[in-house]
Structure 1
Amino acid sequence: MTAIGTVLALLGTGLMVVAAVGLLRLPDAYNKVNAVAKAAVSGVMCVLLGTLLLLPGLDTAAVLLVGVALQVLTSPFGTYAIGRASYRSGAPLTEATHRDDLAAGPRDGPRGTAP
């Protein structure tokens, strides 16, 4: 079990490194938010599950499983809020973006401002 726990912890650490590289290298705020949300959540879950395998016990399991559940439940909302705030503040889209689905929404004016 310790080998699997170590592999999971290292895999999670690697995923968080990929998220950090994406944060530095991707062209706009929306791509950065997406990369960090996907890789960091997966990375945190792998590290926590690896820790559970390395330190087995009922107390450890309860704390770490609550941590995984909170990460899975809160990350999508936080990611949405950051992306929406970026859009509403006028963060520029990369030139590779061909569509802006929020530009003329029913409740929003251009670039997400209220009518």
Structure 2
Amino acid sequence: MIELLTAFLLLLGSLLMLLAALGALRMPDLLTRMHATTKAGALGGGTMVVAVAVFFDDGAVTARALAIVVFIILTAPVAAHLIGRAGYFVGIPLWEGTLKDELKNRYDPETHTLASEDSEASSGSTEKRDHD
């Protein structure tokens, strides 16, 4: 029974990793590629590590597998966010189907500074008062 569960988890992890690879090939821009590879890659890798823990059925292996899964779940989205943000700041174009660009009016490509939402709101209200 353990072998069957291990085989199922390995196949599921492999399928998720395949979906991550297909997402990296098929998605139109950097941000959607990062989304596809992060979600499916983290779940696929985590599922395969869980399969190893189930197969060996040892406390030390299970503890290490749990630590690996937690590490993957915590670091993969952060790394993808930083890579996507760096791509945006270097000027990688967004897909024409992108509906929302939260940083468009806040990022200055000349000085490479990003205005916070608070400063934008306060400067907007100041400008409004100056014009009244």
* TM-score for both structures, normalised by structure 1: 0.90
Structure-1 separation of matches of 2:80 and 2:30 = 11
Identical-pair percentage: 32
Please report the RMSD computed on the Cα atoms of aligned residues, expressed in angstroms.
1.8
**Displacement after TM superposition at 1:75 (Å):** 1.4
> How many residue pairs end up in the alignment?
113
**For 2:104, what is the secondary structure of its paired residue?**
coil
**Displacement after TM superposition at 1:102 (Å):** 0.8
Structure-2 separation of matches of 1:111 and 1:75 = 30
Structure-2 separation of matches of 1:42 and 1:112 = 38
Structure-2 separation of matches of 1:29 and 1:8 = 29
Partner of 1:94: 95
**Displacement after TM superposition at 1:62 (Å):** 1.7
Q: Which structure has more RCO (C-alpha within 8 Å, separation ≥ 6)?
A: 1
**Displacement after TM superposition at 1:110 (Å):** 5.2
**Displacement after TM superposition at 1:56 (Å):** 1.1
Partner of 1:113: 112
Larger Rg: 2
Gaps of 5+ in 2: 115-132
Gaps of 5+ in 1: none
**Displacement after TM superposition at 1:2 (Å):** 2.1
- Does residue 1:79 correspond to 2:72, yes or no? no
* TM-score for both structures, normalised by structure 2: 0.79
Deviation digits for residues 40-80 of structure 1, max 9, x if unmatched?
00001110111111111112112111111111111121111
**For 2:102, what is the secondary structure of its paired residue?**
coil
Mean Cα displacement is larger for which, 16-25 or 51-60? 51-60
CA contact (8 A) 2:17 2:45 kept: yes
Structure-2 separation of matches of 1:44 and 1:37 = 10
Aligned pair in 2 of structure 1 residues 6, 88: CA closer, same or farther (>3 Å)?
same
Mean Cα displacement is larger for which, 50-59 or 83-92? 50-59
How do 1:1-115 and structure 2 match up within 5 A? 1-105=2-106, 108-109=107-108, 113-114=112-113
Structure-1 separation of matches of 2:104 and 2:111 = 7
**For 1:100, what is the secondary structure of its paired residue?**
coil
Amino acid of the residue matched to residue 16 of structure 1? M
Structure-2 separation of matches of 1:74 and 1:31 = 18
